Structure 1
């Protein structure tokens, strides 16, 4: 029995556009709720949300029963973290703050089994291989593993063409918030210079045959990103959705102050 097909990777290879949402609440109950909302993919955030390996594992488990594909953003591109998340059952990994082709090549090796990579061969014990029930996991997992790298500062943009040349990188996500800050526009990803850099990067990624990705909570930016070729597009975050709805409800019903 081979590793299960990765529907997210299959969609990107087919040139399709898939829409997702960030999960930052670090909770299985809310993750399960989001899994039934109709998104193509959901990202479990290990960088800026209070997640650890066990909470990531628990969310992978509840999302496995949903039609939404689970992506995991690791906090940093460390080999041991990537290995643990893959063994926990993630098939798609997003790695933040990638700034060079050398870093991208290392990440490709991290998600690939020997002899072409360095991923540890302990799948007999893992959830990823269904605890040895996926008998051909070792020979088929690489083809279904999807590596997304995040370019989110000027150094990364300067190295973008070299990063795009790295075989094994499936997609490149442009991080608007960090890029805006690095360009001197903290908290203002809508600045024309930042938007110009983002859209140019998305077009270059698509032209290189990789899948471009973005997070946008503004419809105008989302449409511009789609026009520039974005394929995996996050259009919200559970934290922001809850916060927005809670503020609106409180404002609707609270008594006016005198």
Structure 2
């Protein structure tokens, strides 16, 4: 089942991956998450064989891939979709023109102007049974185009942006939205950021467009609140955040007292050594 098909049935759940470790990505799939959110904007990853392996790892584990692009470059968008991603997230969409460029790059004609090639993973490398017309139809139907609402200009132009044909969801970015307004940053949304989010949810619902965003920390209460408030695609933190949290808890609950005791003992031993040397 594609991610778009799951979205028709209810909320979908994913996690961002910043480490790029294929085994971590596979584990996300084996644990039952719906999608992995790979980031080309805020990580050192480039469009290379190493990044392609991240998409391959997800496909091995049966988890869908959304790629947050570095920009709106049509060749880069085409590459990640040909490598097997199910959707692209386009940062800093500020106008209907930005949204139209995203759709044009991700969709084949007549929906867009994406270039075609059969010797790619998305086309099963043109293996027996490949049919160009079916391939184009399925890619146009299943590929997700997700502009990001992370600037105040998005809200100013929201009606025009959401009217662009081919948009499946909007990724709300509360931190960058606050930065665009020079506001204090936090995961809790209030004031102008909350108003922008509420506007997005209301207008997206009217057009049947999904809303993607972060839920941090991803506990049951926050997930329930996020769904109630309008999120239909939930990013439950990222691998580094969860790793750091596990380390912090382990150190606090199990290890730090032993280290403190050890260091205290070493310090005392150092003092005694100094006294002995002084005595002789």
Tell whether the structures are fold-level matches, with TM greater than 0.5. Answer: yes
Is 1:19 aligned to 2:18, yes or no? no
Match of 1:86?
A: 81
Q: Offset of 1:170 from its aligned partner?
A: 0.6
Q: Offset of 1:191 from its aligned partner?
A: 4.9
Is 1:129 aligned to 2:128, yes or no? no
- In the TM superposition, 1:30-45 aligns within 5 A as 30-45=24-39
Is 1:70 aligned to 2:65, yes or no? yes
Provide closer, same or farther for how the CA distance between residues 60 and 191 of structure 1 changes in structure 2, counting only shifts above 3 A: closer
Structure with greater proportional helix content: 2
1:152 aligned to which of 131, 150, 161: 150
TM-score, with length taken from structure 1: 0.89
Is 1:253 aligned to 2:249, yes or no? no
Greater relative contact order, per chain length (Cα 8 Å cut-off, separation 6+): 1
Runs of 5+ consecutive residues of structure 2 not aligned to the other structure: 265-280
Task: Tell me, yes or no, if the aligned pair for 2:12 and 2:34 is still in contact at 8 Å.
Answer: yes
CA–CA separation in structure 2 for the residues paired with 1:10 and 1:75: 26
Spell out, residue by residue over 1:84-114, the C-alpha distance to the aligned partner (whole angstroms, 9 max, x if none).
Answer: 1111111211111111111111111111123
2:56 aligned to which of 49, 57, 61: 61
Runs of 5+ consecutive residues of structure 1 not aligned to the other structure: none
**After the TM superposition, which of the residue ranges 151-160 and 33-42 deviates more from structure 2?**
33-42
Larger radius of gyration: 2
Task: Tell me, yes or no, if the aligned pair for 1:91 and 1:146 is still in contact at 8 Å.
Answer: yes
Task: Tell me, yes or no, if the aligned pair for 1:202 and 1:225 is still in contact at 8 Å.
Answer: no
Q: Secondary structure at the match of 1:169?
A: coil
Match of 1:243?
A: 244
Is 1:119 aligned to 2:114, yes or no? yes
Alignment root-mean-square deviation, CA: 1.9
Q: Secondary structure at the match of 1:104?
A: helix
- In the TM superposition, 1:169-248 aligns within 5 A as 169-193=167-191, 194-218=193-217, 219=219, 222-248=223-249
Task: Give the count of matched residue pairs.
Answer: 251
Q: Offset of 1:139 from its aligned partner?
A: 4.0
Spell out, residue by residue over 1:105-143, the C-alpha distance to the aligned partner (whole angstroms, 9 max, x if none).
Answer: 111111112344221122x22111111026122343211
**After the TM superposition, which of the residue ranges 76-85 and 212-221 deviates more from structure 2?**
212-221
Q: Secondary structure at the match of 2:66?
A: strand
Is 1:164 aligned to 2:162, yes or no? yes
TM-score, with length taken from structure 2: 0.83
**After the TM superposition, which of the residue ranges 79-88 and 45-54 deviates more from structure 2?**
45-54
CA–CA separation in structure 2 for the residues paired with 1:112 and 1:68: 22
Task: Tell me, yes or no, if the aligned pair for 2:174 and 2:189 is still in contact at 8 Å.
Answer: no
CA–CA separation in structure 1 for the residues paired with 2:84 and 2:62: 16
CA–CA separation in structure 2 for the residues paired with 1:253 and 1:234: 30
Q: Offset of 1:179 from its aligned partner?
A: 0.8
Q: Offset of 1:156 from its aligned partner?
A: 1.2
